[in-house]
């Protein structure tokens, strides 16, 4: 192997070395998603129905709805994923695990909606 190829391979190994995420990444991500859903909800709550007659006023509430739904969905997925190991240990099989995961997702979505 030539020296250039060996150097390139060495650089590639260093560049593609696994990197552990920060330990508080999940908590920071959850706080950010909660903040986004709350801000989107506040934006939607502040709009009056009479102002919606003009289509030019639809952009902000539509954007708030998209942000709120996206952040809420990501928050549910993050919370359900964080409890995956315990559900897997409790499940008696694949179908039971799927059912437990679906119930957990529905419960978490309900908690998020009730929190509004």
d(CA 77, CA 87): 14
The residue extents of the domains of the chain are: 25-114
pLDDT of residue 75: 92
Burial of 40 (0-12, 13-18, 19+ CB in 10 A): buried
Q: Against a cut of 0.85, is the pTM above it? A: no
The pLDDT tens digits along the chain (116 residues) read 567 788 889 888 888 888 888 889 889 999 999 999 999 988 888 877 777 777 887 888 889 999 999 999 999 999 998 888 888 888 888 999 899 899 999 999 998 888 75
pLDDT of residue 6: 84
Written as six digits, the tokens of 55 are: 């289509």
């Amino acid at each position: 192997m030539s020296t250039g190829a060996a150097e390139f391979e060495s650089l590639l190994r260093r560049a593609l070395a696994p990197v552990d995420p920060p330990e508080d990444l999940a908590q920071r991500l959850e706080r950010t998603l909660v903040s986004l859903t709350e801000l989107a909800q506040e934006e939607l709550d502040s709009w009056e129905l009479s102002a919606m007659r003009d289509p030019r006023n639809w952009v902000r509430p539509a954007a708030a709805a998209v942000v709120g739904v996206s952040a809420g969905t990501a928050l549910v997925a993050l919370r359900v994923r964080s409890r995956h190991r315990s559900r897997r240990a409790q499940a008696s099989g694949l179908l039971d695990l799927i059912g437990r995961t679906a119930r957990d997702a529905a419960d978490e979505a309900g908690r998020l909606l009730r929190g509004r």
